[in-house]
Amino acid sequence: MDPEEGDVRNEWPLLLWTSVAVMVPVLLTLWCSAQRSKWKSHRKEFFRQSKHGWHYTDLFSKPTYCCVCSQHILHGAFCDCCGVCADEQCLRRADHSLACKEIMAPCSPDGSMEHRWVRGNVPLASYCAVCKQQCGTQPKLCDLRCVWCQTTVHDDCIDALADHLCNLGEFHHLIIPPHYLYHVNKLRRRHPEEYAKLAPSRGSGWTPVLVLANTRSGNNMGEGLLGEFRTLLNPVQVFDLSRLTPSKALQLCTLLPPGSVRVLVCGGDGTVGWVLDAIDSMKLKGQDPFIPRVTILPLGTGNDLSNTLGWGAGYAGEIPVEQVLRNVLEAEVVRMDRWKVQVASKGAYFRKPKVLSMNNYFSVGPDALMALSFHTHREKTPSFFSSRIINKLELDGERLDLPSLEGIIVCNISYWGGGCRLWEGMGDEPCPPTRLDDGLLEVMGVFGSFHCAQIQVKLANPVRLGQAHTVRLLLKSSKMPMQVDGEPWAQGPCTITITHKTQALMLYHSAEQTDDDDGSSASETESATKEVESH
């Protein structure tokens, strides 16, 4: 072999490692730069210029007049942020001549803010702030409303409010004022801690709320709710989760005083879990001081977590959005355990276990079968359930001797199956209390689908197996339905381990529960859930 050729071959490893050593920092720098650019481009969304959010309709709920030409509207649109209405011919002029509710704007040197009036189409049963008589009673474009404090006033009385300043109204504790974002925009190149310096100007009780709505939940009620919340709050606080993920929406928390933010999730328990996972990712990124408190406006059906926290089994517009915000203001902070569910398939030695987060419950057997809609498969294979589907169940490392069960249900909350108090049952047997924050799971067994149905109509109790900090199940069936918080799948032989993951900060509503058919009161749930944060 040529000595020079041997030297070249010996140099190849050195050249390769040198190239890697040079390229890795370059690639890492490029990736970090891309992430920063991505965050900067997203953060610009919080400081965007205000624009009308038009919704087209030919069915207004009351006689409506165009804010441009003053004529009665037959076919037109309304802005769900500021309330401006325009017919089809005047929409372009309205965009140019009528400003929308300002997301970001400077204020006076003394911090005061002037009213922002919109003329005409005031809400029904509005009363003048000056003469106390009803507004909007004339069949024409008349009277005015402030888009921030919702004050209404007659055209003839407006001069009496010439020196009157806007205080943002009843929900000033929940609103992010436009001048706050204006100052944050000037400081955003500095360290986020500097934003906290702006907080004292809002007062010690300032707890801004972010509204995150799943428009696919609750017969598409979310779309209408978004508009109502934009009317009462700063539009920048209201997010449509079909357009923006919770992770991106929650970045607004980093522009607000640490520990002050409340998040109202409009959706089902699955949407709440999605938001809580996003909050956990904030913790992983070292953003703990900005972790918000989460509350729920339950849409759709089920909503066992919402029921447990006192927000009811479902919202169908029975109370106005204003009352929803009042409830958020009055709610108490509680801690809620979150759990990690690891599913390790048998024989998958080189595959990572499936890992999921659990807030409500885990189940295997008939309960999960209903969620998975496996009825057809069950008819084809009557032996789908054997008398002993569970080979082993351990609670905190102690193995249990089990009866011939067809299913296991592991609960973190007091409600299951769309409003059933599973652990407490019919109340005919004493049982340890349940809590959201005690680091314990309640483990129960069921004999079959008919037993599940009996439990839901309060004709039977589950088999209470015990409470534990760690639950481990070994399943031997070839194909079993299982679910975590309503998300089902079919699973082969595996080992399931459920361990404590973290705690979330939730808001608890102490008003009367919506499911009181059995005479139970809110105090039962209250005793099980309330441990108000010490600070």
Domain boundary residue among 144, 169, 194?
169
Are residues 127 and 94 located together in one domain of the fold? Answer: no
Q: Is the pLDDT of residue 54 over 50?
A: yes
342 against 125, higher pLDDT: 342
Q: Residue 327 domain-assigned?
A: yes
Q: What is the pLDDT of residue 40?
A: 47
Mean per-residue pLDDT for 354-374?
82
Q: Is the pLDDT of residue 285 over 90?
A: no
Are residues 183 and 295 located together in one domain of the fold? Answer: yes
Q: What is the pLDDT of residue 381?
A: 41
Q: Residue 278 domain-assigned?
A: yes
Q: What is the pLDDT of residue 37?
A: 46
Are residues 153 and 54 located together in one domain of the fold? Answer: no
Q: What is the pLDDT of residue 517?
A: 39
Q: What is the pLDDT of residue 190?
A: 60
Q: Is the pLDDT of residue 283 over 50?
A: yes
Please work out, in degrees rounded to the nearest 5, the angle formed at the alpha carbon of residue 366 by the alpha carbons of 362 and 371.
65
Taking only the tens place, the pLDDT of each residue in 318-334 is 899 999 999 999 999 99
Q: What is the pLDDT of residue 257?
A: 86
Q: Residue 24 domain-assigned?
A: no
CATH number, domain with residue 240: 3.40.50
Closest alpha carbon to 448 in 362, 369, 360, 361: 369
Which H or E run contains 220?
A: none
Which H or E run contains 197?
A: none
For 383, phi and psi rounded to 5 degrees? -90, 20
> Which among 24-33, 80-89, 109-118, 375-384 has the top mean pLDDT?
80-89
Taking only the tens place, the pLDDT of each residue in 430-475 is 888 889 999 999 999 998 888 988 888 888 999 999 999 999 999 8
Query: What average pLDDT is seen over the chain?
Result: 82
How far does CA 516 lie from the centroid of its chain?
Answer: 25
Are residues 225 and 304 located together in one domain of the fold? Answer: yes
For 288, phi and psi rounded to 5 degrees? -50, -40
- Measured between alpha carbons, how far is 11 from 16 in angstroms, rounded to an integer? 9
Are residues 154 and 197 located together in one domain of the fold? Answer: no
Q: What is the pLDDT of residue 521?
A: 36
DSSP helix, strand, coil percent of the chain (3-state; round to 5): 35, 25, 45
- Measured between alpha carbons, how far is 231 from 324 in angstroms, rounded to an integer? 14
What is the pTM for the complete model shown? 0.83
Are residues 143 and 262 located together in one domain of the fold? Answer: no
Of 174-183, 193-202, 222-231, 400-409, the range with the lowest mean pLDDT is 193-202
Domain boundary residue among 169, 192, 209?
169
Q: What is the pLDDT of residue 374?
A: 42
Mean per-residue pLDDT for 332-355?
88
Are residues 299 and 346 located together in one domain of the fold? Answer: no
CATH number, domain with residue 153: 3.30.60.20
User: What length does the chain have?
Assistant: 535
Q: What is the pLDDT of residue 367?
A: 74
CATH number, domain with residue 486: 2.60.200.40
Q: Is the pLDDT of residue 196 over 60?
A: no
284 against 386, higher pLDDT: 284
Are residues 443 and 461 located together in one domain of the fold? Answer: yes
Q: Is the pLDDT of residue 160 over 80?
A: yes
The domain tally of the chain equals 4
Token pair for residue 399? 């193995």
Are residues 58 and 133 located together in one domain of the fold? Answer: no
Strands 76-79 and 262-267 turn out to be unpaired
Q: Is the pLDDT of residue 362 over 90?
A: yes
Q: Is the pLDDT of residue 181 over 90?
A: no
Q: What is the pLDDT of residue 511?
A: 63
Q: Is the pLDDT of residue 385 over 60?
A: no
Q: Residue 487 domain-assigned?
A: yes
Are residues 139 and 187 located together in one domain of the fold? Answer: no
Are residues 193 and 289 located together in one domain of the fold? Answer: yes
180 against 13, higher pLDDT: 180
Angstrom distances, CA of residue 26 to CA of 13, 23, 40: 20, 5, 21
Token pair for residue 117? 């009036």
Angstrom distances, CA of residue 286 to CA of 145, 210, 245, 277, 279: 43, 21, 19, 15, 11
Q: What is the pLDDT of residue 392?
A: 84
Report the share of the chain in percent with pLDDT over 70.
77
Helix (H, G, I), strand (E, B) or coil at 17: helix
Other C-beta atoms closer than 10 Å to the C-beta of 58 total 10
193 against 518, higher pLDDT: 193
Q: Residue 403 domain-assigned?
A: yes
Between helices 221-232 and 321-330, what is the axis angle to 10°? 70
Q: Residue 518 domain-assigned?
A: no
Provide the pLDDT confidence category of residue 380 given band limits of 50, 70 and 90. very low
Are residues 141 and 240 located together in one domain of the fold? Answer: no
Q: Which domain holds residue 295?
A: 178-331
Provide the pLDDT confidence category of residue 357 given band limits of 50, 70 and 90. very high
Q: Residue 187 domain-assigned?
A: yes
Provide the pLDDT confidence category of residue 162 given band limits of 50, 70 and 90. confident
- Measured between alpha carbons, how far is 118 from 158 in angstroms, rounded to an integer? 12
Domain boundary residue among 130, 151, 169?
169
Q: Residue 381 domain-assigned?
A: no
Report the share of the chain in percent with pLDDT over 90.
49
